[in-house]
Amino acid sequence: MTTALTLAGIVVAIYIAILGLLWRMQERIVFQPPPEADSPDSGTGTIAYTTSDGVELLAHVVAASSTTAPILLAFHGNAIISRWMIPWAREVSRRVGVTVVLPEYRGYDGLAGAPTYAGAALDAVAALEATERRFGVGPERMIYYGHSLGTAVATELAASHPPAALLLESPFTSARDMAARLPFIGLGLFWNLISRVHYQTIIRVQQLEVPVHVAHGERDVIIPVRMGQSVHQASRNKGELLLVPEAGHNDVAVAGGAAYWRWMEEAVRQGRR
């Protein structure tokens, strides 16, 4: 009996220690700046700005030919940098006729600071305000886009600064739902106790008046397609849902082809009404 109690105590202690480690390390799991940030590509311009807590950041700009083109503010995922999105942004600008602004997060691509949940929110607001100053338009005349982690950042920004439309590519429902996918029994039960990352996209979209457009790859093994479907279904103002059978997590645009660009064009068109 004593041995069994001792073993049980050891198991409980290990379990609590792992929970403590997850509490301490969770933002390093959520935000993963790539160690190598070399890229031969560069944007057609940049915007430099400072967050409300004093972090100096920048955004790359791929400008449309028209000075009156809509603005697409695009937030990237957790393990890339904004410069890597420039080829995609150029294609978006060419096909859809928008100016694309690619903000960078603190701690990414050699920028100061460490990425955190709270910091990413400040970074997004600062990027929005800098874009407003540069182009002289408010968020109600902009379109927000996010991929993967960027969908949560874009959705939180939309909750406080509503855009004309919200485009979510490979979105997850909530940080808690993503944590539940980890191979750790009972994590969901203790999530409220250990969480410092509070992304709840599925709740946010229920409250947004703006149209929410969702694209997701059916072969996505990082964020399952059911999450994208759930986000779209929960949206108060449903835009178009695009499911790409051959796409995984990072190749929705490539695998989607013409259907992807129609999805993008329709979202921008709705955002211009």
Stated as kind and residue range, the H or E segment containing 145 is strand 142-147
Is there a contact between 117 and 196 (Cβ–Cβ < 8 Å)?
yes
pLDDT band at 12 (very low <50, low <70, confident <90, very high): very low
- Does domain 2-33+41-271 sit in CATH 3.40.50.2300? no
Q: What's the token pair of residue 241?
A: 């849902």
Domain boundaries, the chain: 2-33+41-271
Ramachandran angles phi, psi of 176, nearest 5°: -65, -45
pLDDT tens digits, one per residue of 146-165: 999 999 999 999 999 999 99
Are residues 229 and 256 in contact, defined by beta-carbon separation less than 8 angstroms?
A: no
Considering only CA atoms, which of 51, 155, 156 is closest in space to residue 113?
51
Q: Return d(Cα 114, Cα 121) in angstroms, integer.
A: 13
Find all residues with CB under 8 Å of 3, minimum gap 6, and list them.
none
pTM of the model: 0.89
Q: What is the pLDDT of residues 95-130, one digit of tens each?
A: 999 999 999 999 999 999 999 999 999 999 999 999
CA distance 86 to 61: 8
